[in-house]
Each structure stands twice: as C-alpha cells, then as structure tokens.
Structure 1
Amino acid sequence: MKVLGLSSPKPITFAEVREVIDTDGHGGPDDRRYLSRVFVTPEVDGWTLVIGAWCDPCDSERHEDVLRLCETLSARYEGAQAYYYGAQGDGSAWLIADHDRVVRRYAATGEPDDELLTLGDPLPLEQERLAELGLPTNGDLRSASNEQTEEWTEIAFDLAPEIAAVYGVSPFTLTRETRVRGTGMLALTPDAVGDRT
C-alpha cells in the first residue's frame, strides 16, 4: 500500500466491497471519484490484488502511471500485473511486469488508441489463441483477413480474466478453497478528493 501511495485503509469483506467497487465504476464521464479508492485484498494464493478503476492499464489518463507502478512493484515483488475487463462486452487489457520491466501490455477495448498501448511480444496464451485462428503468433495482423481480425478481436475482448488466471490469480476464480491470509482493505488512492470510505 505504501508503494502505491494508498492511505486511510479500512477493513472490508469481499461481500461488502463488491457493491462499493461496482458503484465506483459507474460514475459519470466527468466524475473522477471512480479513481479515488481501491480494494486491497488479503493475500490470496500468494498474490495481493488491488481492485478498482484506478488500476486500469488502458485508461487514457492513467495508463502510464499504472505501467510505472507495475514496474516499481515488480522490482520489489518480482512480478506485478494490471488488468481491465469490461464484463458487459467492453473489452480487456493486460499489463504484465517482471523484475522491473514490462513484458507485455495489450488493450482490446475497441478504442482507437488500443494499438498505441501495445508493448512487448504476445504472451504464450495469446500466441496459442492466435495460432488457433491461423494468425501469426507474433501478433502482426497486417496480412490477416477482416474475418480473422474480427475473430481475434472477439477473443481478445474476453481474454483478461483467463490471462490473469494463468499468470497469477483472477478475481473470478476465487472460491471458498482459495488460500487467504490477512484482511482486505478499502483504501484511498492519491487521486482521492475527500474521504469517501
């Protein structure tokens, strides 16, 4: 929490925080309060998740800060990741950092700047999905047909939770059997305006 600049942590359960984070994610377009707090999970299967819009690796205002924070965290903890997943068909994005360097950042959200966010080579899971479509595993889609490109976009739109599960922990795969150590906290981000907790 110190590395991320988070403050005013208050204990909260998974059940309680679900509504909080969902509410924060549905503010108006000019309402920046959605960036004001995050949920820091207890340790789950060896990982600590930080959940909230503030962690979005493809947000137009935050993507460089999220990249920098993942690099910093990965230098200290050997690895750090950031994800975006729009469960309503809004796409996916992922950022994987390992030992102080970004290995991969990719966004598939349908936004015009998605391609500009791409860093690094496709992850093995991406390569597998590209190969299944008969596409080059290096992710170069210039020779792909429109149909192939659309198929890849459709797959990539839903890929973030699967990548999270393969390369760490996905919040969607947490169960009663998940090893949990510690207490979850709702914390204010450096973007917080007033205490909303």
Structure 2
Amino acid sequence: MIVGAWCGLPYLTRSDLVTDLCQQLSSEFGRGQASFHSEQNDGEAWLIAEGGAVIRWWISEYPELALGEPFGVERRLLDAFGISGKPEDLDPEDDLASSWAATWGDCDVPTVAAESSLDPRQIRPGTSASGIFLVADTV
C-alpha cells in the first residue's frame, strides 16, 4: 500500500509514476496499491496492481482514464443500481450516473482499501498485517 500526498492519483502529472511504482511493487511482492481519499470532496482514486499488471485504476474526477474491471464493493454498488457495466461508461448527464455518483460514501478509498488489504484509517503502531509490509519516508 502506497500512502502519502506525493502519490495523489488525481494529479495527472504523477499518475505514470504511481502506476509504474505499483506495477513494480506488485511484480516483486504480489500486489501494490495506491490511493487518494479526500475529506474535502476533492475525489476518490485507487490503483490496484497484481503480478505487475493494473487490475483496477479509478479516479472519480477522470472516469475516462479508468482501467480494469470494477470488483468488490465497487461492483456490488454498481449491481445495486442495476448497472452491469463500468461507471466510466455511464453518460455523465444521465440520471443513473448522477444517482451512482451520489453514493460515493459507500464506495470510498478506505472501504476499497479495507476490502483489498488494510483500511488506512485503521493503521496504527502494532497493527498486524499478513505478508510483507514496507514503509518508506519520501522526505
């Protein structure tokens, strides 16, 4: 899991760097994740890579850039709205797209991260995790 302001996926100037890093980490350790969660309604973004390949990349402000198939909580929420496809394929002017977008509180980064690995809001000294957990200071 990559965390820190420097990896904000909505900042497109950093998206290639973050994508490459997640792919590299997933090649070496099985999975790499990066996410951006805003408490000020600046959007949600996540990137999950496995075995060197991106399996899902979603940026709420740039749905046209999405990669991969929705899974987990994202897929379940789409199903609940009767959306069989992907959110990035919805017409933003459509009522269904507006209804879906209004539900982001049910499909935010902490929820996606918790389902995929660890909820970043719950990481504290002594938090246990399976597998390899790397910590790096980017200062």
Give TM class, smaller chain. Answer: 0.7 to 0.9
Amino acid at match of 2:76: E
Q: After the TM superposition, which parts of structure 1 deviate over 4 Å for at least 4 consecutive aligned residues? A: 180-185
Classify 1:176/1:63 alpha carbon distance in 2 versus 1 (closer, same or farther; 3 Å): closer
Percent identity over paired residues: 27
RMSD: 2.7
Q: How does 1:38-57 map to 2 (within 5 A)?
A: 49-57=1-9
Gaps of 5+ in 1: 1-48, 189-197
Matched, 1:78 2:30: yes
**Residue 172 in structure 1 maps to residue 116 in structure 2:** no
Taking the aligned partners of 2:83 and 2:39, their CA distance within structure 1 comes to: 26
Please identify which structure carries the higher strand content. Answer: 1
- Conservation of the 8 A alpha-carbon contact between 1:58 and 1:117: no
Shift of 1:90: 1.5
Structure 2 gaps, min length 5: none
Give the Cα–Cα distance (whole angstroms) in 2 for the partners of residues 166 and 74 of structure 1.
Answer: 17
> TM-score normalized by structure 2?
0.81
In 2, the alpha carbon distance for the partners of 1:91 and 1:149 equals 16
Higher relative contact order (CA closer than 8 Å, sequence separation 6+): 1
Aligned with 1:92 (options 23, 44, 48) = 44
Report the TM-score when normalising by structure 1: 0.59
The total of aligned residue pairs comes to 135
Checking the alignment, whether the CA contact within 8 Å between 2:2 and 2:35 is kept in structure 1 is no
Highest Rg: 1 or 2? Answer: 1
